[in-house]
Structure 1
């Protein structure tokens, strides 16, 4: 086993370990001491402590023969050290040897080129006595003067050296415990030493941010013992990160040890040997035990009072942790145990405090690392850029692969690179495969099969669907998938619940199957390449060995397979094809199928000559299927049926024989005219997606689907009649009817007590909502925008206490019931009108007087005058509602939670002052308020104000204490600059940032310095008191070459990186600009 310490500073194997700013020395510390005084006591203890911390120490009594004049070798040792520790004891000055050493040390210290740092230790002597040569030092110099003469230059140089060294900061042994003094000196030297050393991880790509994250998890300021895990797939850099962290913090501990390759060493030499090495590494000699139990006791007894830093690298078994670092009480306060592993469950089972998951490199980092290995430089050589990108893409950011392939291609010409990359796609590099295969080999037989199935067919599928399929195969997928995730062999996207896998792990899985029968594909368990599949099925050479066939093609492919191609594949479980055309047709499918995925299936109906008793998942999207099957077929295990965008599908089969169907996806089946009556009574269907079935007019009979949670009929433009709902429909949570032709809703709507999202957007024929809507007491979102004939909201709305969002844009509603204001949970309210002046298509719309009182609206739009308490309301959209300043009363200020207000396209001349009294308003939009002349006073909470295309705004009416944020308006550049400068000087906000938009073609001159780059470095003066500045201003110029206004949208992101590594992010989307301003 190789143990890493700070003494191993060469690391010549890495091309990026050297540092041009570091002085390379043979020794870290030179010890100068009087042998008879301290050699067998204090000096021995100090030397041992320094060496335990990996600090290389020179002791002249070990390396040079005494009794001679100070030699060239000793002078070289002093000159070749980073630090010198002078142990000034009682008889130190009596030794001419020691004084000569000290004189040479001080000369090297005074030489700026050598940079030797000197630290005195006053051991049993007073620093003042040393400085002034009193006491024993006075006696010693009296003898030196008798020997060398009263005015000897040598003696005077010795005196000067003692006087100088005594003035340096060091340690005084008076009233100190010797053990504590030794530890204090060793720790101080280590802290001073680490920044000077060439690191074994110096200049490694993408490492610093990962190291910083691990250090944050370690929590150095906490006193207790902490276990930290570093987890990730093989070759991703766990050991490198652990080593870098170890280097950075080891000076803070009494004892340190890095145990590398625990898995490999325990398999080769046993755990007892590792226990001995741990103790030996930290300088404990009591390691003559011969069993694990005695080793555990020795480790605990030896380390329980020590502050220890221990790294256990590449751990793969819980018993390794149990025998090396079982419990916290094995170690002293402040100890840190860092564990690297591929198995997350191992860390969880051991009670690790924090776990850091190592991610792959970003693309730019991956290219950088590859180039360092392939070209010994940061960038590709000329002519190699595209080839380098191709290799980097192949590795998917795995550091091991980047280093191995970079080194493999180093120094080779372009033709060889082409050949190597071509070979790589057929035969993976063995060193990479061997490293990745370690985790696979640790699995049991079932787990290996699950891994291979995911690698071949289920990557990118939802976890629940995969588990159902695998369970039908007789596997135990719940525990199997969990173990694969814990061992970093697969991933799970927490957002969409989809399974993923690194590309190189997927390639490893394919290589494992290839090795089952390299020369005969018909004897492999899984087929995936077009050539192998064609070879087997065209010649009708299928065998029972084949359990999976999957082929993904980028282009349509015509295959001349035998009509009985699957006749002999009696064990085939998974069949996954796409864009495959079969001119000869297909006469049968194996009854053993669990999964049938065939995008673009050319068949008009499935050849079900035998019953598909085992199939769980059928996906035939974009197929030519006209009718799935005739009559009743008993397919009891089928759970998922997807026929999306099968435009020839006209009718659905009888689902009576499919009792366990859960998801039915028929999106985009434009020819579908009817649904079989058996479907609306199905008891297991959870999701039914009929979106964009443009020929569908109705559903048959009463809906009695007790398990249904999501029903999507959006885009069914001919759909006019929604059937009644039975009482069993209480689980329905989403009902989407957007764009349908329904004129009314069934009175049984109130049975949908579990409905949370009701989308009626653009139901232009809908006349009203039923009074029974009050039964929707779980409803959170109601969208009736675009229901242009809907003229009122029912009073029962007040019973829906959970309602959070009401979207009612472009409706015919002319009166809001007072019941609306009983909705204490309402957060979003939108009544945006048309996007322009009144026209014939909107002749029902009248000017809008707002809901909180004020003068009566001359247009007749009525709102309650005394209700204003909507405590949760945070967002209001009243754009294009013909509002004037009288429409917004003083009651407006009582909306205490309001953060966003959109008043775009209204008729304000001035904005009422009540806006400035909104305590939490952050975003105010006043775009296209063409009559607007004066802005309101800005609330102190404000972050963003948009007021573009306000044509009546005059620059002479600006108040410098107010904020102007105009785009493409007739404001003069000089006035805008002065306005902005004046505002920034007076800005005092509780929020951390504030951004604004102003027109112009140049950055104002008072922003200095100015550069044509996308970044700016800001140096804050060190002597600037914190109470004398509020922040800094940053300005950039946006230049667009896209002229169409609909394309003139830009999202701006601003990152602030401080010296401590933190970053603040500001994101802003700019509104469309007038074409003449898109330059």
Structure 2
């Protein structure tokens, strides 16, 4: 019966009388048979049920006395059968679990007759046990028997071990005391288990043997059984062969903040003055529920000052409780995996996995070690980068710090600048140190002893770096070696020293293990003196040989004048900004070279054709080699070369042999001012995906370009007089096309065939019309037609278009109907525009009509005077956010000629300042945001040379509680003008906008509140204030329609979003509604005052 159990209690009745329906039971049935003589089948059913119940094991009140004892035994037995346990004392109010629980339920497929085992996997503290406990509570009653075995890892290490745990499991499932105490389960117990449909949770499993003992094979339990295993180790789950592995995700920002508020403030929102600080704490915890709870509990009942002080020591606050949980996974690693974890935690978090593998592979089996760390949720790989939770990084660094609490020189890894400064300044290095990573920007200048590294023979990594380089070598020379350097460890695999101050490395340094050498901005002249002596030239010594593949970086080393003579084991070679004059034929020795960077070598004049022998070369950078006039002939196929950057070079032509670059995906010819044509066989580069030729002298695209079926991006901006191929057919994968500033007279009629095109830039061209086929560009999102002075009309626009710009099109007199998806229209300085289509009043959230001087007053009034229009735009924006089409709701911004604040703005003021009084409960549930308005006079901006300007509105709320006044500044922006620096504002303009409630940080609504607004002009290019005031301004709070009309049906979605995802404030909806259905809304009394400017 759906997992239900019947437990009969024979209370003052003989069980045999129930079974045979005799005695008092029989007498009762005689009465029932007379009463239900017309329904004899019902009475017969009662007889059968009682007979069946009497055959079940139950309690006889005559045999168990007194009655109190009977009740006690019944309660104990029921609790035992329900398997009462305390995985969590209270599952109510848990945050972020619903979606995760439902996902796991869907994978479990409850009801199907098969047997399934599911793994729940994730890092410590992420919520695996909690999720398993909630699942157990929700679905265990659907099974004949169940058991939640908590803390398997910990319990298996106690006395009795796995055998004792297995006996406990069987006892709970079979509902009797089982004590086998041998590794093998007797046959009769196996038979019983195979007949039972069970639900078992094995929590915190860390070894395969535990699963073997406790769960056995799939044939151990009956059909329909479900087993859930929680573990930090993915390998254990995979080895056992679970059907599904569910990885527990971290809480998102909203869930994390809600959980934090629950434990820190004992409510669902945070005080306004602690909003930013709360966010910082939540960011640190990175969605780990355990960390959030520990941190929140620490901050509970603390003052704001205590919070600010504690924020500086978050790592100490998180302390023992969190680290103890996280360290369990670390303790289970072998020696190599532990060291790999510590290297990543101290040095390589966020680095490319291929780079880390190269650097570490000789020391550890990195590929295997990384798989172990990933499976134990200690590391994850995202976009080929090594990622690690901040708490795990802190744990790793704490483990290293505990190697020697007082003396950093006795630790294996150093990353903290003060520790490194101490070790180097006082010469405290020891043979324990394996790695040093120092951010030079965080220390003072220091003179190092020649023997600074002499006591560090095991040093594997040495990195002195500046996080931001500005091209000035003196800025990174903070480590000085006035007496030279006598020693570097031969164990070094990674030497990265920005601004190395000497002309050579120590002569006794043997770089046999070196993988990467980076001496960016150094004063190096030669690496070291070879056995036979080196030339006194400022170059590499001859015949340098590296045993392992290495990356060399000597960018901006201004003393290197000749290309180095080095072995074929170099993987990457960076010589950017060096005074090298030519690339010799000996470059063909670099058979393993994958990356060659010669960018900004402004003296480089030629490259040997031997470069075609570099069969492993993937990328060649020659950008801004301003004296390079020719590209070498490609004498044989180079299938690996993917990327060539020739930006800013002086090349005059590309050789036809370029077709041998069959793997080329990116070709950058930007700024090649002497390159006037492309080879006709360009179409043979079948792998080409990106062609960049902006500001080049190219006059014609070869017709063969349509053969490039993989081409996705074409940028030809500024190619004056460019001739296009007659057809775009064949470019089916093109997504971006930039033909701006090309003086084009016409566009191919079949442009509509570019079915994947998303961005089309046609600015500053000379065509009069656009092909009608443009409406078929079904993926087009952005279209820019600005400054097309000959353009007279626009065709029907694509339905998915979101951004349309047609600024300063001098002959364009009308606009087409806009599609419903359109969000932004910028037609500044469209002086011939007179009327607007009806769709402009229905769609879009941002309109720029700056200097549209002839736009009729009726059209302007329709845009500015309709409160309903703005409210519809606002609620539609919030609806899109609610439907998760974008993460945060869009604001609304409109700019057009005008000099009056619209009547519907309930609060108006002359000048730039406005203060409104908010009555109690003004922040109610129907509030969706503020509408703003500012009037700008032409004289206010014209003396600023017509820069791209806007209006900034800073606002704050004052909440009075007793005598306390709180103020918090916030800012919104209204866009206004064009990008043309020489353009002036010729008339007064109205800037009107809407800022969603989700962007307005309201204070608690239970206290009388004042809101103050200050409008000011700012330069949108620099974000700096202009210094002029606006002529007049207005503010209007917007609410959802209480009548719930169809036009405002989405407003309720906005409120739902506000409650569910942005639960920062308590909203109190106490607005009354009159009999006519109109909102009384006395919270904000309108104070209309028409503000006009002549």
Shorter chain as denominator, the TM-score bin is: 0.5 to 0.7
Structure 2 unaligned blocks of 5 or more: 58-74, 466-475, 529-539, 850-854, 896-900, 907-923, 932-993, 1000-1012, 1025-1050, 1063-1094
Whether the 8 Å contact between 1:600 and 1:620 is mirrored in structure 2 is: yes
The residue number in structure 2 matching 1:878 is 762
1:873 deviation in Å?
5.4
Question: Residue 616 of structure 1 is aligned with which of 507, 510, 515?
Answer: 515
Query: CA offset at residue 262 of structure 1?
Result: 0.7
Is the Cα–Cα contact under 8 Å of residues 627 and 649 in structure 1 kept in the other structure? Answer: no
CA–CA separation in structure 2 for the residues paired with 1:437 and 1:959: 61
The partner residue of 1:685 within 593, 603, 616 is: 593
- Between stretches 519-528 and 306-315, larger displacement belongs to 519-528
Q: How many angstroms does 1:707 deviate by?
A: 0.5
Instruction: Tell me if the contact between 1:1042 and 1:1048 (Cα under 8 Å) persists in the aligned partners.
Output: no
Residues 17 and 24 of structure 2 are in contact (CA less than 8 Å); yes or no, is this contact kept in structure 1?
Answer: no
Q: Which residue of 1 aligns with 2:1076?
A: none
Aligned-residue offset at 1:846: 4.5
Greater share of residues in strand: 2
Query: Do residues 999 (structure 1) and 894 (structure 2) align?
Result: yes
Query: Is 1:1011–2:987 an aligned residue pair?
Result: no
Aligned-pair distance for 1:686? 0.8
Offset, 1:960: 8.7
Contact residue 702 and residue 724 of structure 1 kept, 8 A: no
Pairing of 1:267-666 with structure 2 (within 5 A): 267-268=157-158, 269-285=160-176, 287-294=178-185, 301-332=191-222, 334-361=224-251, 395-404=285-294, 429-473=319-363, 475-493=364-382, 495=383, 497-518=384-405, 521-530=408-417, 533=420, 536-538=423-425, 540=427, 542-578=429-465, 580-584=478-482, 585-625=484-524, 627-628=526-527, 630-632=540-542, 634-641=544-551, 643=553, 646=556, 648-651=558-561, 654-657=564-567, 659-666=568-575
Tell me what 2:957 maps to: none
Q: Classify the secondary structure of the residue corresponding to 2:648.
A: coil
The whole-number CA distance in structure 1 between the counterparts of 2:748 and 2:276 is: 63
Q: CA deviation at 1:550?
A: 3.4
**1:731 counterpart SS class:** coil
CA positional deviation for 1:415: 10
- Counterpart contact for 2:561–2:578, Cα < 8 Å: no
Which one of 719, 740, 746 corresponds to residue 649 of structure 2? 740
**2:860 corresponding residue in structure 1:** 972
Look up the match of 1:830.
737
Task: Confirm or deny: 8 A CA contact 2:723 2:744 kept in the other structure.
Answer: no
Q: 1:654·1:678 contact (CA, 8 Å) conserved in 2?
A: no
Report the number of matched residues: 861
**Other-structure match for 2:935:** none
From 226, 236, 239, the counterpart of 2:126 = 236
In 1, Cα distance between equivalents of 2:817 and 2:277: 59
| TM alignment of 1:1047-1062, pairs within 5 A | none
- Corresponding residue of 2:62: none
Deviations 1:394-430 (A, max 9, x none): 6555443444455567778999999988888689834
Pick aligned residue for 2:834 from 954, 957, 965: 954
CA contact (8 A) 2:17 2:26 kept: no
* Partner Cα distance (1:601, 1:126) in 2: 105
1:754 is displaced (CA, Å) by 1.1
Cα separation, 2, equivalents of 1:92 and 1:924: 87
Which whole-Å CA distance do the structure 1 matches of 2:31 and 2:499 have between them?
92
1:679-758 aligned within 5 A: 679=587, 681-704=589-612, 705-758=614-667
Structure 1 residues 1060 and 396, CA gap change in structure 2 (3 angstroms): closer
Q: Counterpart in 2 of 1:794?
A: 702
CA distance in 1, matches of 2:31, 2:438: 84
User: Does the 8 A contact of 1:824 with 1:871 survive in 2?
Assistant: no
Change (3 A) 1:276 1:41: farther
Q: Distance in 2 between matches of 1:375 and 1:938?
A: 49
- When normalised by structure 1's length, the TM-score is 0.67
Partner SS, residue 320 of structure 1: helix
Q: Which residue of 1 aligns with 2:93?
A: 203
- CA distance in structure 1 between the aligned counterparts of 2:251 and 2:840, rounded to whole angstroms: 49
Aligned-partner Cα distance in 1 for 2:709–2:357: 38
Deviations 1:878-933 (A, max 9, x none): 3332333xx334555676776765444445877566x36x6877776545545444
Change (3 A) 1:37 1:605: farther
Are 2:634 and 2:658, in contact at CA under 8 Å, matched by a contact in 1? yes
CA distance in 2, matches of 1:231, 1:124: 62
- After the TM superposition, which of the residue ranges 593-602 and 172-181 deviates more from structure 2? 172-181
When structure 1 is superposed on structure 2, of 32-41 and 648-657 the one drifting more is 32-41
Contact preservation (8 Å) 1:680, 1:700:
no
| Residues 1:491 and 1:891: Cα distance change in structure 2 (over 3 Å) | closer
| CA drift at 1:315 | 0.6
SS at match of 2:199: strand
Secondary structure of 1:563's partner?
coil
Q: Structure 1's 193 and 712: CA in aligned 2 closer, same or farther, altered over 3 A?
A: same
Summarize the Cα distance change of 1:1061–1:510 in structure 2 as closer, same or farther, 3 Å threshold.
Answer: same
Q: 1:303 to 1:387 in 2, by over 3 A?
A: same
The Cα shift of 1:247 comes to 2.7
**1:482 Cα deviation from its structure 2 partner:** 0.8
* Residues 757, 779 of structure 1: 8 Å contact kept: yes
Q: Kindly tell me: are residues 959 and 370 of structure 1, through their superposed partners in 2, closer, same or farther at Cα, counting changes over 3 Å?
A: closer
The 2-side partners of 1:256 and 1:287 are apart by: 15
Structure 2 CA distance for partners of 1:753 and 1:294, relative to 1, 3 Å? same
SS of aligned partner of 2:639 = helix
Query: Do the aligned partners of residues 665 and 1004 (structure 1) sit closer, same or farther apart at CA in structure 2, a change above 3 Å counting?
Result: farther
In structure 2, the residue matched to 1:85 is: none
The residue matched to 1:339 in structure 2 has which SS? strand
Shift of 1:593: 1.1
Partner of 1:146: none
Q: C-alpha offsets along residues 446-469 of structure 1, whole Å, 9 cap, x if unaligned? A: 222222222222222211121122
* Larger CA deviation: 355-364 vs 171-180: 171-180
Change (3 A) 1:358 1:982: closer
1:1035 positional shift: 9.4
SS in 2 for 1:499: strand
**C-alpha distance in structure 2 between counterparts of 1:1061 and 1:354, whole Å:** 34
What is the aligned partner in structure 2 of residue 1043 from structure 1?
Answer: 1018
| CA displacement 1:923-962 (0-9 Å, x = unmatched) | 765455454444435668x555735334444347647998
Taking structure 2 as the reference length, the TM-score comes to: 0.66
RMSD: 5.5
Task: State whether residues 879 and 906 of structure 1, in contact with CA within 8 Å, keep that contact through their aligned partners in structure 2.
Answer: yes
Structure 1 residue 936 and structure 2 residue 812: aligned? no
Q: CA deviation at 1:257?
A: 2.3
**Residues 663 and 685 of structure 1 are in contact (CA less than 8 Å); yes or no, is this contact kept in structure 2?**
yes
1:506-538 per-residue CA deviation (whole Å, 9 max, x = no partner) reads 333334344445565555433445565455555
**Separation (CA, whole Å) in 2 of partners of 1:765 and 1:902:** 28
| Residues 324 and 888 of structure 1, relative CA distance in 2, 3 Å threshold | same
Q: Indicate the larger mover: 690-699 or 228-237.
A: 690-699
**How far did 1:341 drift?**
0.9
SS at match of 1:434: helix
Shift of 1:574: 1.9
Q: Is the 8 A contact 2:329 2:376 kept in 1?
A: yes
Shift of 1:544: 3.6
- Cα shift at 1:476: 1.1
**Displacement after TM superposition at 1:628 (Å):** 4.7
For the 8 Å contact 1:960–1:982, the answer to whether it is kept is no
Contact 2:695/2:718, CA 8 A, preserved across alignment:
yes
Q: Distance in 1 between matches of 2:27 and 2:1058?
A: 51
Q: Secondary structure at the match of 2:157?
A: helix
Deviation readout 1:585-606 (Å, 9 max, x if unpaired): 3223222211112234333433
User: What whole-Å deviation, never above 9, does each CA across 1:671-726 have from its counterpart, x for those lacking one?
Assistant: 55555654465211111233444554443454231110111223444443322223
